[in-house]
Amino acid sequence: MAIGRHLLADFYCCEADFLNDPARIEGDLTSASTTAGADLLRTCFYRFHPQGVSGMVLISESHLAVHTYPEHAYAALDFFTCGRVTDPRTICELLVASFRPKVVATECLVRGQHLAEDCHK
């Protein structure tokens, strides 16, 4: 038994203008969440000056997070979903279509995989 899957995605060589647009990024993250079947709870975004955006989307199934570095054409994202309905790989694919990175590196970890552990031992 496990709680969910946590996918970490590094998007390299994105278009710098997109990485500096908090409204578009927030819109695309919330849209990817709901398209993937997640239930949206809260969003929280911040624009750095002179550049960069950080943001988080809370969903009933856990969260999405993004941190962009336009100066490196790079964005660090992660998608954590509990349960079986929402697949973090679907969210990732949808956001690759938005961010259009030339290079993507992902790693997917299982969260809470030792839940059967007996706490009273």
Task: Count the neighbouring beta carbons within 10 Å of the beta carbon of residue 29.
Answer: 25
- CA pair distance 60, 81, nearest whole angstrom: 9
Residue 49 a catalytic site member? no
Secondary structure class of 15 (helix, strand, coil): coil
> Is 108 near a second copy (CB under 8 A)?
no
Q: Which stretch binds a second copy (CB under 8 A): 17-25, 26-34, 44-52, 90-98?
A: 44-52
Footprint (CB under 8 A) of a second copy, residues 69-88: 69, 72-74, 76, 78, 80, 82
Nearest CA-CA partner of 79 in 3, 1, 8:
8
> Is 3 near a second copy (CB under 8 A)?
yes
CB of 34 to a second copy, least distance (A): 17
Exposure b/e, 73-93, CB count within 10 A at least 16 = b: bbbebbbbbbeeebbbebbbe
Query: CB-based contacts of 119: which residues, under 8 Å, 6+ apart?
Result: none
Residue 14 a catalytic site member? no
Active site residues: 62, 67, 82
Footprint of a second copy (CB under 8 A): 3-4, 6, 8, 10, 12-13, 41-44, 46, 48, 54-56, 58, 60, 62-63, 65, 67, 69, 72-74, 76, 78, 80, 82, 102-103, 105, 107, 109, 111-115, 117, 119
